[in-house]
Amino acid sequence: MKPKLSGHTWKKGIFQSIWNEIANPLENEKSWTYGQLPEYIWLALILDKLGRIEGINQSVKILKYWKEINPKIEDCRFSTLLAESVENQQKLFSYIRLFVGDNTLEPLTLIFDIHEYPTFNGNFYNKMSSEKRLSKIEQIMQECMGSQTNMTTDIKYIVLFFHSICNKIKFMKRQKYIIDDLNDYARLPHENEKMHTIRPLVRSIFGAIQSMDKSNLVYLNKFWEDLSCMSACKLFSVNLSEVDEQNLNKDQCVVAFQNIFDYFISIKQDVLILDEKMTVLLGLAVFAYNRFYEVYKHDLDNSISGRSSVRGLFEILIIMKYLIHEENNHDNIWKDYQLYGLGKYKLVCELNKDKINMPEGEGTHIPLKYLNILVEEFFRPEFLDINTKYFDDNNIRKKAEITGLADLYATYYEYLTSYEHGFWGSVRESSFVKCDNPAHQYHCIPSIEQHDNLTSVWSDCVLLMHHIVNVLNEEYGIPDKLLVEVNKFDPKSVNG
Can you give the pTM of this predicted structure? 0.70
In this structure, the answer to whether residues 432 and 333 fall within a common structural domain is yes
Per the DSSP assignment, residues forming a β-bridge with 269 are none
Looking at residue 236, what DSSP letter applies?
A: E
Q: What is the pLDDT of residue 267?
A: 86
Which range has highest mean pLDDT (271-285, 307-321, 357-371, 441-455)? Answer: 307-321
CA distance 451 to 458: 16
Q: Is the pLDDT of residue 172 over 80?
A: no
The whole-angstrom separation of Cα 140 and Cα 155 is 12
Query: What distance, in Å, lies between the first and last C-alpha atoms of the chain?
Result: 27
227 and 346 housed in the same domain = no
Q: What is the pLDDT of residues 397-433, one digit of tens each?
A: 999 999 999 999 888 888 899 989 888 888 888 888 8
Q: Quick one: 216 and 299 in the same domain?
A: no
The C-alpha atoms of residue 337 and residue 319 are separated, in whole angstroms, by: 10
Do 91 and 177 lie in a common domain?
A: yes
Residues 290 and 170 in one domain: no
Write the CB contacts of 16 (distance below 8 Å, at least 6 apart in sequence): 8, 9, 10
Question: What's the confidence (pLDDT) of residue 117?
Answer: 94
Within 10 angstroms of residue 411's Cβ, the number of other Cβ atoms is: 17
Please report whether residue 369 resides in a domain: yes
Please identify, among 197, 231, 265, the residue that sits at the C-terminal boundary of a domain: 231
Q: Of the candidates 231, 265, 285, which is a domain's last residue?
A: 231
- Flag whether 138 is in a domain: yes
Q: How far apart are CA 89 and CA 66, in angstroms?
A: 9
On the CB side of 389, CA atoms within 13 Å amount to 5
405 domain-assigned = yes
Predicted confidence at residue 227, as pLDDT, reads: 85
pLDDT of residue 455: 87
Using DSSP, state whether 453 is helix, strand or coil: coil
Residue 11 lies in a domain: no
Asked if residue 351 and residue 220 are part of one domain, the reply reads no
C-alpha distances in angstroms, 142 versus 204, 380, 388?
Answer: 22, 69, 54
Instruction: Tell me phi and psi for residue 9, to 5 degrees.
Output: -120, 145
DSSP string, 307-345: HHHHHHHHHHHHHHHHHHHTTTTSTTHHHHHHHHHHHHH
Going by C-alpha positions, the residue among 39, 49, 51, 29 that lies closest to residue 150 is 51
474 & 339 share domain: yes
260 and 186 in one domain? no
Whether residue 209 is contained in a domain is answered as yes
Averaged pLDDT, 441-454:
71
Based on the fold, state whether residues 483 and 450 are members of the same structural domain.
Answer: yes
Q: What is the rounded CA–CA span in Å between residue 194 and residue 355?
A: 76
CA distance linking residue 122 with residue 100, whole number of Å = 16
Tell me if residue 375 falls in helix, strand or coil. Answer: helix
Question: How many Cα atoms within 13 Å fall on the side-chain side of residue 165?
Answer: 20
The answer to whether position 9 is within a domain reads: no
Q: Is 70 helix (H, G, I), strand (E, B) or coil?
A: coil
Residue 269 belongs to what domain range?
A: 250-487
> Within this chain, do residues 268 and 134 fall inside the same structural domain, yes or no?
no
Number of domains in the chain: 2
Under DSSP, is residue 247 helix (H, G, I), strand (E, B) or coil?
coil
Do residues 315 and 366 both lie within one domain? yes
355: DSSP letter = G
Across 38-42, 81-85, 281-285, 385-389, least confident range: 385-389
Reported residue count of the chain is 496
| pLDDT tops 50 at residue 363 | yes
Q: What number is the average pLDDT over the span 108-112?
A: 93
Report d(CA 333, CA 338) in Å as an integer.
9
In a domain, 72, yes or no: yes
Looking at residues 427-448, what average pLDDT do you find?
77
Residues of the chain above pLDDT 90, percent: 48
Contact between residue 124 and residue 86 where contact means Cβ atoms under 8 Å apart: no
Q: Which residue among 204, 231, 258 closes a domain? A: 231
Answer yes or no: is 245 within a domain: no
Partnered with residue 10 across adjacent β-strands are: 15
> Do 348 and 438 share a structural domain?
yes
